[in-house]
A and B are shown apart, each in its own frame.
Chain A
Amino acid sequence: MCCNHTLENNKSTDQKPDESFELNLITGMSFFDPHVHMTSRTTDDYQAMADAGIVALIEPSFWLGQPRTGVDSFKDYFSSLVGWERFRSSQFGIKHYCTIGLNSREANNEALAEQVMEVLPLFMYKDGVVGIGEIGFDDQTPLEEKYYRLQLELAKEANLPVQIHTPHRDKKRGTQRSMDIAIEHGIDPTMVIVDHNNEETVKDVLNKGFWAAFTIYPFTKMGNQRMVEITKQFGPERIMINSAADWGISDPLAVPKTAALMKQQGISVDDIRLVTYQNAITAFAQSGQIDESDFTSGIDQSIKFEGNSILRGGQQPRINKSSIIIR
C-alpha cells in the first residue's frame, strides 16, 4: 500500500522543483545534533553524518521500541551510551555525548522504575553526560508525573540540564504541564530543553524562557519546510533542531538537510548556525561537559602513528561504497 503510494508520487515529481540534497550548499558548516539515538543506527549513517558536517551529537536515553523487563537491561543500556556507542561515534570523528534518564513510557512500570532510579546516580556524574533526559510525559499518567518530578530533583542536585520529551498525544497540554512542573521544582527555564515542539507549542515555550527544540522527523513530527517557516517567524534565539533519528523511519541527516533548505530559502548563515549548532551547545554546555575543542580530536587521531599504517584511536578506515568489490 505504502509502496504503491510512493510510486505514484514519483510519477508526479516531474513537475516539482529539484528536491535533491546538495552537500555543497552547506560546505564548511559544522552541525550539532542534540537528539539522535545512534544505538539504532548503522556505520553508514555515522559516515554520512560526518560527511554532511555533523561534528558532535547528543544521544538521549529512551526506550528501545519494546519494554525492558529488568534493571540490568537499563544498566547495560546506560553503559553502552557512555561506552561502546561513544567509541563507535569517535571512530567517525563525531563527538558523542548523552543524557541519562528514565523515559516516560517505562516510568509506568513502577517496580522497575524504582530500581532504575537507584542506578541513575551511577551514570549521571560520568564524563560526557550533559543532562537528564529524555524525561517527561507520554500518556500523562500519575506514574509518569512521579518519576518526572523525581528526576527533576536529581537534575537540580547535580546541576545538570533537563531534556524534556513532550508527548505525541495531547501535546499542547502535556508541554504546558511539563513546564509548569519544572518551574514548581524551582528549576531555571534556561536549564531546560523542551523537545519535539511544533507550531502550537513554540510560542509558549519561548515566552516562558525555556529552550525550544524541534525534531525533524517524517510523518509524526516536524517537516523541515515547516521548520524554515518557524525560524523565519520566531528568529533563531533559543531554538534548536534535531533529528531524533532512531529505529523508526527517520533521517540522521535531518539537521544538515534543514540547514541546506534554510540556506536555499534565504535564512542567514549566522541564524542557521545558531539553530543547527550553537544554541544546542550553549544549552547543554551548562553541564560543564562540552568543550568545542574536543570536536575535532577524533580526526586528529587518524594521523598515522610512527610511520605505521595503523589507524590511531580506532578511527575507521573508509570503504568505497560504490565499488562492487568488497576487500
Chain B
Amino acid sequence: MITEFKSDRFIALLSQILKANIPHDAYIWLNNDKNVRADAFDTAFASMPRKTGRRNLTLSADQLNDLRVLRNGLSLNNWTADRLGRVQLLMRFCLANDKDSLKIIESLFATAEMNEQIALYSAIPLLPIPKYWVKRCIEGIRSNLDPVLEAIMYGNPYPAENLDESSWNQMVLKAFFTSKRVDLIYGLKNRANPELVRMLIDYAQERRAAGREIPHGLHELIESFTDPKN
C-alpha cells in the first residue's frame, strides 16, 4: 500500500534543495543511479557526509511552502546537508527497488552511527508502507542519544500519524523527562488524551515532591489539554 503521498514529487523538491546547498560534484555523485543499486547503496549511505559536507541547509520561501504542501508536519529546521542527502537516497532506493528495499533499509539501523540514525528516523514518514516502521520508531524513542530523540520528536510527522496511544504518551513523557522542546512535537494537541493528561499531572507532582524544577511548558500543556475552551 502506497499512501497518497507522492514520493517522486517530493524527491524532486529535495533534489532542488540539495542542488542549492551542496557542491556541484556532490550533487552529480548523489544522483548517480549506481547509488540506489543494492551493492553500492550501503557505502553511499555511509559516506554521504564526505561528499555533501554537513553544513546547515538554507531553504527559500518557495521551498518552505512546497514542503508544507507536499508533506505537512515535516520540518527541515536545523537539518544538515548530509541528513537531507541520506533521506533523498533512501527515498530513491525505495522507488528503484521492490519491497525488499524496506528490509535492506531496516538492516542499516543495526550498524548506524548517530547521524545515520538521525537520517533514518527522519526518513520513515517519507517511505512507503508507513506502518512497517512502528516498532522501529518505538525502539528509537528508547534511545539514549538526544539528537536521535530530537530527530523523532521534532518536526517529524511519523509518531503522531502512526503510534498507538500508549507509545505516543511514552514519547511525550520522555520528551519532558529528557528536557526536550515539547512545543516542536508535531500533533501534540490533536493527540491529547486523558491518560496522557494523568501521566503529565503525576509527573509534575513527582517533580514537586522531589523539590526539582517543573519542566518548562508542562503546566501550560496540561492546562491546554484540560481547558474546556480548547
User: Inside 8 A of A84's CB, which chain B residues have their CB?
Assistant: 144-145
Q: Evaluate contact between A314 and B111: CB separation under 8 angstroms.
A: no
Q: Evaluate contact between A127 and B49: CB separation under 8 angstroms.
A: yes
Q: Given contacts A83-B145, A87-B145, are A126 and B46 in contact (CB under 8 A)? A: yes
User: Inside 8 A of B230's CB, which chain A residues have their CB?
Assistant: none
How does the 8 Å CB contact mask read for A113-156 relative to B, with 1 for contact and 0 for none? Answer: 00000010011011110000000000000000000000000000
Decide yes or no whether B161 CB sits under 8 A from chain A: no
How does the 8 Å CB contact mask read for B123-149 relative to A, with 1 for contact and 0 for none? Answer: 000000000000000000000111100
Q: Evaluate contact between A75 and B110: CB separation under 8 angstroms.
A: yes
User: Inside 8 A of A83's CB, which chain B residues have their CB?
Assistant: 112-114, 117, 145
How distant is the Cα of A310 from the Cα of B216 in the complex, in angstroms?
9
User: Inside 8 A of A122's CB, which chain B residues have their CB?
Assistant: 42, 111
Interface of B is mostly: helix
B214 to chain A, nearest CB (A): 12
Interface residues in A, total, Cβ within 8 A: 23
How distant is the Cα of A125 from the Cα of B43 in the complex, in angstroms?
7
Set A79, A305, A310: member contacting B111, Cβ < 8 A: A79
User: Inside 8 A of A123's CB, which chain B residues have their CB?
Assistant: 111
User: Inside 8 A of B224's CB, which chain A residues have their CB?
Assistant: none
How distant is the Cα of A83 from the Cα of B47 in the complex, in angstroms?
16
How distant is the Cα of A314 from the Cα of B213 in the complex, in angstroms?
19
User: Inside 8 A of B47's CB, which chain A residues have their CB?
Assistant: 125
| B170-204 at interface with A (beta carbon < 8 Å) | 179-181
Q: Given contacts A122-B42, A125-B43, A126-B46, are A86 and B147 in contact (CB under 8 A)? A: no
User: Inside 8 A of A82's CB, which chain B residues have their CB?
Assistant: 113-114
Q: Evaluate contact between B179 and A288: CB separation under 8 angstroms.
A: no
User: Inside 8 A of A24's CB, which chain B residues have their CB?
Assistant: none
How distant is the Cα of A288 from the Cα of B114 in the complex, in angstroms?
19
How distant is the Cα of A63 from the Cα of B147 in the complex, in angstroms?
29
Q: Given contacts A125-B46, A125-B47, are A78 and B145 in contact (CB under 8 A)? A: no
Which residues does B use to contact A, with CB under 8 Å? 42-43, 46-47, 49-50, 110-117, 144-147, 179-181, 213, 216
* Shortest Cβ-Cβ A-B pairs, 10 listed: A82-B113, A314-B146, A125-B46, A310-B179, A122-B111, A87-B145, A126-B113, A126-B46, A83-B113, A125-B47
| A–B pairs, 12, beta carbons within 8 Å | A79-B112, A79-B113, A82-B113, A87-B114, A87-B144, A127-B115, A127-B116, A288-B50, A308-B216, A311-B179, A313-B146, A314-B146
